[in-house]
Structure 1
Amino acid sequence: MYDTRRIQDLLHHQVSDYMMHHGDGIYLYDTEGRAYIDCASATFNLSLGYSHPEIIKAIREQADLLIHATSTFQTRPVDELVRRLVAVSPPNLTRVHLKVSGGSTANEGAVKMAQVHTGRRDVITLFRSHHGQTLLTTAMSGEAFRREPFPLLVPGVVHVPDPYCRRCFYRQRPDTCGLLCAERINDFIDHASSGSVACVVVEPVSGSGGNIVPPDGYLAALRRICDERGIVLVFDEVQTGIGRTGHMFAADHFDVRPDIITTSKGLGGSGAQVAAILTSGEFSGLGGEFHSFTYGGNLLAAAAAARTLEIVSRPAFLANVRAVGAHIMRRLRGMAQRYPCVDDVRGLGLMIGIELTDRDGQPATSLTRHLARSGMEHGLILRTSRYGRGNVLKIRPPLIITIEEADLLCDRLETLVAQEAQ
């Protein structure tokens, strides 16, 4: 194993002893030549896997011409990316803000737009949400552990229960609850907010929070509540966007049109740093002095993102994501029949979660962490929910994964569970 002890003394963050060398498709290779199936697509941002040849070519060709230019000027990569984003977005979203450098700044920009548009202040988000790590998006995100170290965070955020049917906050049943998780948001607005709510920000499928897929009608109910109260509805599609759910955006799957979509991660294809805010025309015009970042809309990233959208838009691409995702779900649900610790398998497309519990049905957090650590010995890179505090393994391989590769992933995962979870 490569000796990283000296590096660990120098780095601000903790790293493992694994030294990685190169990647190809769904595989990451260490310096010893061992191959690992990346079930997390790095940080869920390698939608086209490692070193996709078309993405590498697009970046190289652009690097020969121009690496960066101020957004004062037009450039072909940025113009092409804007055109493609508008073409694949829900039809009400016709404006693109690219001067953001990641999902956190995209989400923060969306809130600013909503505040300017409505003249209001408050933001409503979900208990288990994760919207970023700036001060504002840290305050917006759910989970007390995210906010605990910071004495000063942005006020005006109201957190409400998730649409988590498996562990319903209201102790209801999905078939009889009347979508109480949505309807009770009215009570939070009336009694827990300042009375000045600018926007509701929601991940259509939770990312870090446990891969929670909302019940039918939930997002449509949010749309109705926002319409009735003049509140802006923002979909944080940083993780769900660009094909991850088997549709270009999760909004397409749920057939709900938000006022704003934020996207990043998978937009870069093979790791280019790029993000965007997609809005209707009424939200355009927020000046650069209010929300603009130096490396937002970088030309190398724009070239990679434009090519990514072209690839994901090809006729068979998203159909393959849905087919392979359904195949993995069938395999994992078969595992749930054989291993009592596998309590639930849920997801859309290739955004899949495996919820693990103990014999009493309680979250098996320690087991989840153990399986993620042990996965490396079985050639699997696994990540867990809630930054290691949750009980859900996240299965989100690159969208280019084949049926044969999916079977290998599932075979390795079942061997892991059979050996380590008994």
Structure 2
Amino acid sequence: MLRGEGVFLYDSEGRSYIDCAAATFNLSLGYGHPAVIQAIKDQADRLIHLTSSFQSEPINELVGRLVAVSPKNLTKVHLKVSGGSEANEGAIKMAQVATGKRDVITMFRSHLGQSMMMASLSGNAFRKEPFPIIYPGGVHVPDPYCHRCFYKQRRETCGLLCVERIEDFVEFASTGRVAAVVIEPISGNGGNIVPPDGYFEALRAFCDEHGIMLIFDEIQTGVGRTGRMFAAEHFGVEPDAITLAKGLGGSGAQVAAILTSERLAGLPGHHHSFTYGANLLAAAAANVTLDIVGQPAFLANVRAVGDRIMQRLNDLRTRFPQVGDVRGVGLMIGFELETAAGEPDVALTNHLAGVAMNHGLILRTSRYGFGNVLKIRPPLTLTMDEADLICDRLEDMFQKELT
């Protein structure tokens, strides 16, 4: 690959691709956004890096901006992290110290990061299989996955068993000392699972009843991906902490943050700070990103182009039976590939992801190739014409590969 511009990536053979993965979902403002590039250049002329022991204008500005746009209960920001794994691990440490408890509840298909603690607490056995020792205290519970409900229920009559039965996991599968529930509001690597209405209200009530901290991993859903600044806003729930990374850097700056309530504040700095956390270049990029993404018209466009893609995918679903459930919010979209019997078709999913570049698309699959969901999460700068172009190319691919 030689260069990128907006939603497009260009290779050494002169071919162009629409990046429906936004470079592993990092590029909320696409490739080479001029305002982000200029902010980095301007900051580089002044000061590139500073120990996080000192205050600085870019960092202080970023803290203020994040508090201003976050749910009103989140008033503290920790920026001494430079990636999503570190942000999630820090939020868990804060919950453990604040509650005096240890265990962490996560979902079966969750992907919380690549550090040893995060790989251990994430779902999926293949994530942990090679390692002789994993971090203790993880309690994995079924996802709110209505299309393939673990409890074989229908949403109309299930009574939200995916929340109610967590009580059993606490009683029988934990130590009884649960510090936090960590959940992606819409699963990233796990298959773009969108929880049903009422799920997060019930989960919030469950956590309050048991003195458990509710942590939203918004590393993929945050910073406008759902058409709101945070998915927490879309679902109408205030978590005790939100973790951010990826899209916060706009066009690829390496920045992450932990937003917390007052209760989780106070973890001594020596327990969680990293070499390139609170980097000034990254903070400068993040400030510009928040300014752009925070514009009402920008977020309205994310919702509009996301709706267009969802409409066209549902149309394709009526014509190609291999396309199963289509789900998403904003530009956090995924669709399942299924056999004639309705079972996950992992082989077909990987095949389509492999040939997509022949059709000018870059697509990612779920669960590192073990899942049956293709994901559409392009940069948030996507225009309506580009949204239609994605769908035109998908339709062309389906015509050639599925008929």
TM-score scaled by structure 2? 0.99
Equivalents in 2 of 1:146, 1:54: separation in Å? 38
Equivalents in 2 of 1:29, 1:377: separation in Å? 13
Matches within 5 A, 1:256-295: 256-295=237-276
Equivalents in 1 of 2:44, 2:320: separation in Å? 51
Equivalents in 2 of 1:72, 1:150: separation in Å? 35
Percent identity over paired residues:
69
Is the Cα contact below 8 Å between 1:47 and 1:399 reproduced in 2? Answer: yes
User: Does 2:97 correspond to 1:116?
Assistant: yes
Counterpart of 2:187 (choices 206, 210, 233) is: 206
What is residue 223 of structure 2 aligned with on the other side? 242
What is residue 413 of structure 1 aligned with on the other side? 394
3-state SS of 2:296 partner: coil
What is residue 25 of structure 2 aligned with on the other side? 44
Is the Cα contact below 8 Å between 1:367 and 1:421 reproduced in 2? Answer: no
What is residue 16 of structure 2 aligned with on the other side? 35
What is residue 289 of structure 2 aligned with on the other side? 308
Measured against aligned partners, the alpha-carbon deviations of 1:239-286 in whole angstroms (never above 9, x if no partner) come to 000000111000000000000000100000000000000001121121
Counterpart of 1:137 (choices 111, 118, 124) is: 118
Amino acid in structure 2 at the alignment position of 1:284: A
Matches within 5 A, 1:9-408: 20-408=1-389
Gap runs ≥5 in structure 2: none
What is residue 11 of structure 1 aligned with on the other side? none
Gap runs ≥5 in structure 1: 1-19
3-state SS of 2:214 partner: strand
Is the Cα contact below 8 Å between 1:41 and 1:47 reproduced in 2? Answer: yes
3-state SS of 1:233 partner: strand
How many residue pairs were aligned?
A: 403
Is the Cα contact below 8 Å between 1:264 and 1:275 reproduced in 2? Answer: yes
Equivalents in 1 of 2:235, 2:10: separation in Å? 37
Measured against aligned partners, the alpha-carbon deviations of 1:11-44 in whole angstroms (never above 9, x if no partner) come to xxxxxxxxx0000000000012211000000110
TM-score scaled by structure 1? 0.95
Amino acid in structure 2 at the alignment position of 1:303: A
Equivalents in 2 of 1:334, 1:226: separation in Å? 39
List structure 1 segments (4+ residues) > 6 angstroms apart after TM superposition.
none
Amino acid in structure 2 at the alignment position of 1:388: G
Equivalents in 1 of 2:322, 2:263: separation in Å? 49
Is the Cα contact below 8 Å between 1:40 and 1:397 reproduced in 2? Answer: yes
Equivalents in 2 of 1:168, 1:213: separation in Å? 12
Measured against aligned partners, the alpha-carbon deviations of 1:183-223 in whole angstroms (never above 9, x if no partner) come to 10011001110011000000000000000000001111110
Residue 72 of structure 1 and its aligned partner are, at CA, apart by 1.4
Measured against aligned partners, the alpha-carbon deviations of 1:341-375 in whole angstroms (never above 9, x if no partner) come to 00111000000001110111111101100100100
Equivalents in 1 of 2:10, 2:92: separation in Å? 40
Amino acid in structure 1 at the alignment position of 2:217: D
Equivalents in 2 of 1:183, 1:239: separation in Å? 27
Amino acid in structure 1 at the alignment position of 2:340: R
Residue 334 of structure 1 and its aligned partner are, at CA, apart by 0.4
Residue 315 of structure 1 and its aligned partner are, at CA, apart by 2.2
Equivalents in 2 of 1:76, 1:215: separation in Å? 42
Aligned-residue CA RMSD (Å): 0.6
3-state SS of 1:201 partner: strand
